[in-house]
Amino acid sequence: MIPAKFEYKKATSVSEAIALLDEYGMDAKVLAGGQSLLPAMKLRLNRPGVLIDIGGINGMNEITEEGENLVIGANCTHAEIAGSELVAEHVAILAQAAATIGDLQVRNLGTIGGSLAHADPSADYPAVVLACDAVISVQGKKGSRTIAATDFFLGIFNTALEEDELITAISFPKVDKGTYQKFYQSASRFAVAGVAVVWSGDHVKVGITGVADTPYRANAVEEAYDGTGKAASKAVDGVEVMSDHFADAEYRAHLARHMVRKALEG
């Protein structure tokens, strides 16, 4: 469990991190909480030449209320999010999801920015950012921009982030009512099917993770929603469902529909 040799760079500011990313390009990896990256490096499945540690950058782990939004710094840990009073008050579904991630050690170190950038298809946050219509703030050498959550996830471990870009914060519109329902994989405790539902008036927004190789908004469910759980039958419409030894496609599709129903029925 010893990683291949790498160089370690500690960034003290976002701009320094971006400069380093620009300098080292594909050879560099950004280290946030390290809870996915470091195990992969120890197994030598991932062997970056340079690690750019953004963990010490000031101001990246704050949770602030900005009008109708709650802005979460990218370096906020799952434990900080799960335990935050502000999150509990304004985007409770996010705290609910954060509390289901990994175990206490993982939650104490892993960060929301790291998780989103890593884009594991079974991670929990993607379902929530999709259902909340969160906006992801990123910064790169060309400057800052924002990416809508629905545009962010492109595939397995693949996002709309450019090579030199860093997630700095995630902005969540405040949520009146929402719920995250997760069926755990028994070994890793990632989501076999994770469903986030956010209500706005009579409508719902439904984000699903763990089911396809890219987390997605279940548009068919949203359109068919009639105030009951019936629309859940459309949870995997048009989706290629993943299959592994814990859950084949048939069972996983069933779980997705079941978890959507459970979420819709509140």
Partner 1 sequence: MGKYIGKSIKRREDIRFLKGTGRYTDDIKLPNMTHSAFVRSPYAHAKIQNVSTAAARKADGVVAVFTAEDGCGEYGVPCGWQVNFKNGDTMREPVHPLLAKGKVNYLGEAVAVVIAETLAKARDAAELVDVDYEELPAVTNPRDAMNEGAPLVHDQWADNAAFDWCIGNDRIAVEEALEAAHHVTELKCRNQRLAPNALETRSYIADYDVNNDKYTLYSSTQNPHLIRLLLCAFVLGIPEHKVRVISHDVGGGFGSKMFHYTEEALLTWVSKEIGRPVKWTADRSEAFLTDAHGRDHVIHAKMGFDKDGKILALLSDEYCAMGAYLSTLAPAIPTYLHGTLFQGVYTTPLIHLNVIAPFTHTVPVDAYRGAGRPEATYLLERLISKGAQELQMDSAEIRFKNFIPPFDGVSQPGYQTQVALQYDSGNYEGTLTKALEILGYEDFKKEQDKARKNGKLLGMGISTYIEACGAAPSAVVGSLGARAGLYEVGHVRVQPTGKVNVYTGSHSHGQGHETVFAQFVADALGIPMEDVQIVHGDTEQVAFGMGTYGSRSLAVGGPAILKSVDKVLEKGARIAAHKLEAAVADLEYAEGKWTVKGTDKSVSFGDVSLTAYVPHDYPEGLEPGLDFSSFYDPVNFTYPFGTHIAVVEVCKDTGKVDLKRFIACDDVGNVINPMIVDGQIHGGVAQGVGQALLEEVVYDEAGQMINGSYMDYALPRADDLPFFETSNTVTPCPHNPLGVKGAGEAGAIGSTPAVVNAVVNALAHLGVTDIQMPLTPQRVWKAMQN
Which residues lie near partner 1 (CB under 8 A)?
1-2, 4-5, 43-44, 183, 186-188, 245-248, 251, 254-255, 258, 262
Residue 251 Cβ vs partner 1, minimum distance, rounded to whole Å: 4
Closer residue to partner 1 in complex, CB, 10/189? 189
* Sign of the alpha-carbon dihedral angle for 240, 246, 248, 250: negative
Closer residue to partner 1 in complex, CB, 151/248? 248
Residue 182 Cβ vs partner 1, minimum distance, rounded to whole Å: 11
Residue 124 Cβ vs partner 1, minimum distance, rounded to whole Å: 15
Q: How many CB atoms lie within 10 A of CB 44?
A: 11
Closer residue to partner 1 in complex, CB, 15/188? 188
Cβ contacts of residue 254 below 8 Å, gap of 6+?
Answer: none
Nearest to 116 by CA among 100, 95, 138: 138
Closer residue to partner 1 in complex, CB, 167/235? 235
Residue 246 Cβ vs partner 1, minimum distance, rounded to whole Å: 7
Structure token digits, residue 93: 């579904």
Q: What are the phi and psi torsion angles at 189 (to 5°)?
A: 65, 20
Q: What are the phi and psi torsion angles at 71 (to 5°)?
A: -105, 125
